[in-house]
Structure formats: C-alpha cells, structure tokens
Amino acid sequence: MFTSVEFFCGLLMGLVLSLSLYYKIYNQLNNINQKLETIIQAIGPGKFKVKSKSAKLLSERNYLEDIEDLWKNFKNLFDKKSGLDSDYSFNKLATEIRELREEKGVAASTLKSFYQRKTNPRKRTLEAIQEWIDKNKETVNEDVSSNNNDM
C-alpha cells in the first residue's frame, strides 16, 4: 500500500504534469490563433461573414421586377391607408381581401410578411393583393385629395 507521503508526492507530480500539459496546449492554441488572425487581416477585414440560416431568413427577399412593382404599390397603398386610419391593420386588410374575393382570403400574417419582404407569396396571394390594390388605389387617392382640399 501507499503511504500518505507517497500518495501526496504522486498527487503533486500529477498536478505539475497536468499544469505543464495545459500550458503547452494553451500556448499552441494561442500561436494558431495569432497565425489565423494574421491571415485574416492579410486577406482583409469583412471578407469572412458567417451566414447562418436564421440570418438568411430575416433578410429581405429579392423579387422579380413585376413582383417588386406590386410590392411597392402594395406598401405605398397600405402606408397611405394606415396613415389615414390609425386603426388600420393587416387584419383589416385581410378582411377586405376576403370580402373582395368572396371568402377566399389571404392570412394577415402572409400580408405582413410580404409587406416586410420576408416571403415570396404564391400566385393566388399576388392576384389577391393586385385586386385589392386596383380596388383601393382610386379610393385612397380621392381621400387624400379631399383631405388636402379641406386644409
């Protein structure tokens, strides 16, 4: 059996060896890190961008030209209507589209996502939005002109 002196000597030797091994590994990793930083700075800052899946989902969508035009018209019209009526929301818009399309509506969340450029809507959704724009464009223009005349 080990005596208490032998046990503590062995424990001390193990501690010294583990600390020396730790510092040796730490120094090697530190050297590797410094070399990587030198390489990255030589290439130039901003070249290494990590794009996670969540970051890609939150980025704005790029639309085809005809959908881009529809989005601009949709955003402008929605902004005008919400400017005229502070209670106007995507829920009210969804209700208007549902009534316009005879109970075949679009979810408020879909409309909001399109407004925020977070989705590529389906063809049926685009058609519904276009119908709503066509119906409301003249109405909003009349409301804006009558408000300007009142001032």
Question: Could you tell me if 87 and 129 lie in one domain?
Answer: yes
Q: What is the structure's pLDDT at 12? A: 92
Residues 130 and 103 in one domain: yes
- Considering the domain architecture, whether residues 71 and 144 belong to the same structural domain is answered as yes
37 and 75 co-located in one domain: no
| CA distance linking residue 29 with residue 20, whole number of Å | 14
Same domain membership, residue 62 and residue 134: yes
Please check the confidence at residue 51 and state whether its pLDDT lies above 70: no
Judgement on whether residues 96 and 139 belong to the same structural domain of the protein:
yes
Q: pLDDT digit string (tens) for 69-90?
A: 999 999 999 999 888 888 888 8
Same domain? For 77 and 142 the reply is: yes
Residue 92 and residue 36 share a domain: no
Same domain, 62 and 135: yes
What sign results for the dihedral spanned by CA atoms 72, 73, 78, 80? positive
| Both structure tokens of 125 | 């959704």
Query: Whole domain around residue 63: which residue ranges?
Result: 57-150
**Lowest mean pLDDT: which of 12-16, 19-23, 102-106?**
102-106
- Residue 116 backbone phi and psi in degrees, to 5: -90, 5
**How many domains does the chain fold into?**
2
Tell me: do 67 and 11 sit in the same domain.
Answer: no
The pLDDT score that the predictor gives to residue 58 is: 47
Q: Is residue 10 domain-shared with residue 80, that is, in the same domain?
A: no
pLDDT of residue 55 exceeding 80 = no
* Per-residue pLDDT reduced to its tens digit, 119-143: 888 889 898 899 899 988 776 555 5
Supply the pTM of this predicted model. Answer: 0.53
CB atoms within 10 A of CB 23: 10
Q: Residue 110: which residues within 8 A CB-CB, separation 6 or more?
A: 119, 121, 125
Q: % helix / strand / coil in the chain, to the nearest 5? A: 75, 0, 25
What average pLDDT does the structure give for the chain? Answer: 80
